[in-house]
Structure 1
């Protein structure tokens, strides 16, 4: 008996295929064979997910589900390999990364990451593929609820690549202003923060990087001894709208003269009222315009 652990909603999030479509394919073509709980809830295993990810890649590239449904796993896999050996879109790369994550294929994942970084610019690769990869499995960079082992490995790999690129830029001596980068307390997913700090460093700004889970008291202490011109932070973990707005008010009191940039899933979702010196950052293109 196979081990089951994914709900149909998990499959929708991970594959990008709507639950309604999965149900139709399952009934009409018998593509998947989930277990069911005592209350008749579908539960799928890794093999179901891998098969769906491959089928998703094929159907997004024009293959008819009626045809693909007649193939066995080997035929599906061979077709995917042939397809991905040709020029691949952003979405195709994301699907391939997802499959390798499920398989815990660390060698394949790193090989594909290097392929992406050679195919696209560093910025395009991160914003259009790597960020979207983590969005696929939930909010920005929050994949731990489904893939704890894979998430740790992948995050570590991306973090290494980002830090290496930042190190290549060296320290800024151009006399441009200083930007403080940090994440609020209990915010641990810092990849997007590192990416934006990379953009700032590349534009010649001095970077004061504090990283993840910074207590507010530490910000107050730092502000008393370190002069910064801008502050950049992100809100990713779930937070009630009123708590987010209260935090922003405290942040303005701490940095009344600096321009404060904020980004993240919670900012987009809650659309909080912003103090006058605050600015939301939608994406890296917008932030680069602010940097000048």
Structure 2
């Protein structure tokens, strides 16, 4: 069972630590454990209850009422919130909260069920935009704790990767694609979920995609480009790095493959205005990618 400080709960729930303490004192909402030095800490059950409380608050319930609900009554309200959220145009906050709980407790059955149910209701594209992406943002805050980084990050990432690959495998191979994309991460990049989603969108729009994945040696790109003759090259910059390093990477792409439309997403601060004049397109949102996929060049 994982342990959390009150600051961890604050980040995950978007509630102020001061509010959480008041609710503890006034309503007995949580009963934290304490270290030998009398420092509060919380467990997975505390996290689960607090995230559920946040869902019910979003539904307009008052904390004084929520604090009197039994565990079964809370479960019933959460299930109603999940079902109703599929007809709402906003992010799926109740589903995200349940997914966070499943990640914290390594409950693969629950998180698989939540993602699959969302795909059935909304399709893969909206599932990524309304569930997976905001879930990754929220858990990214959780991974500031070093002891959570290697376990829960890999647990979630591998589930999401499987879902995306499964969705991609169900798409037909295009017969006469108007565009050919080469997708890769540089040799020091590991986090490929954003790139995988771009792969899915390209294939869904009927274009060809040559997916190279993570940690691609830069010197191998020339052979791929010469053989595939792509119309577009796409990469994501995820790792934090000095700006001059990003500038050098982008300049190398321009020098070596400037005849192809270069598309870059992620941490793009190192891209200069002059780069944008050399066929470098910054993908800041899924709509930027869709615009490219719906054009003839």
Does TM-score exceed 0.5, indicating one fold? yes
**In structure 2, do the counterparts of structure 1 residues 226 and 18 end up closer, same or farther at CA, with 3 Å as the change threshold?**
same
Q: Which residue of 1 aligns with 2:251?
A: 249
Q: Which residue of 1 aligns with 2:94?
A: 92
Q: Which residue of 2 aligns with 1:289?
A: 291
The whole-number CA distance in structure 2 between the counterparts of 1:143 and 1:161 is 26
Moved more, 125-134 or 244-253: 244-253
Alignment check: 8 A CA contact 2:182 2:209 kept: yes
Give 1:42 deviation, angstroms.
3.9
Q: Which residue of 2 aligns with 1:132?
A: 134
Q: Which residue of 1 aligns with 2:54?
A: 56
Alignment check: 8 A CA contact 2:4 2:43 kept: yes
- Structure 1 residue ranges without an equivalent (≥5): none
The whole-number CA distance in structure 2 between the counterparts of 1:144 and 1:81 is 32
Alignment check: 8 A CA contact 1:134 1:142 kept: no
**In structure 2, do the counterparts of structure 1 residues 142 and 34 end up closer, same or farther at CA, with 3 Å as the change threshold?**
closer
The whole-number CA distance in structure 1 between the counterparts of 2:38 and 2:226 is 60
Q: 1:154-173 residue pairs with structure 2 within 5 A?
A: 154-173=156-175
The whole-number CA distance in structure 2 between the counterparts of 1:196 and 1:227 is 19
**In structure 2, do the counterparts of structure 1 residues 144 and 225 end up closer, same or farther at CA, with 3 Å as the change threshold?**
farther
Alignment check: 8 A CA contact 1:144 1:151 kept: no
Q: 1:204-219 residue pairs with structure 2 within 5 A?
A: 204-219=206-221
Give 1:209 deviation, angstroms.
0.9
> How does the TM-score come out when normalised to structure 2?
0.84
The whole-number CA distance in structure 2 between the counterparts of 1:180 and 1:12 is 41
The whole-number CA distance in structure 2 between the counterparts of 1:147 and 1:22 is 25
Q: 1:144-176 CA deviation, whole Å, 9 max, x = no partner?
A: 963644443433332222222222223222142
Moved more, 242-251 or 252-261: 242-251
Give the secondary structure class of the aligned counterpart of 2:148.
Answer: coil
> How does the TM-score come out when normalised to structure 1?
0.85
Give the secondary structure class of the aligned counterpart of 1:183.
Answer: strand
Moved more, 214-223 or 89-98: 214-223
Give the secondary structure class of the aligned counterpart of 2:181.
Answer: strand
Task: Tell me the matched-pair count.
Answer: 286
The whole-number CA distance in structure 1 between the counterparts of 2:23 and 2:164 is 40
Moved more, 78-87 or 90-99: 78-87
The whole-number CA distance in structure 1 between the counterparts of 2:280 and 2:53 is 44
The whole-number CA distance in structure 1 between the counterparts of 2:18 and 2:253 is 44
The whole-number CA distance in structure 2 between the counterparts of 1:143 and 1:280 is 31
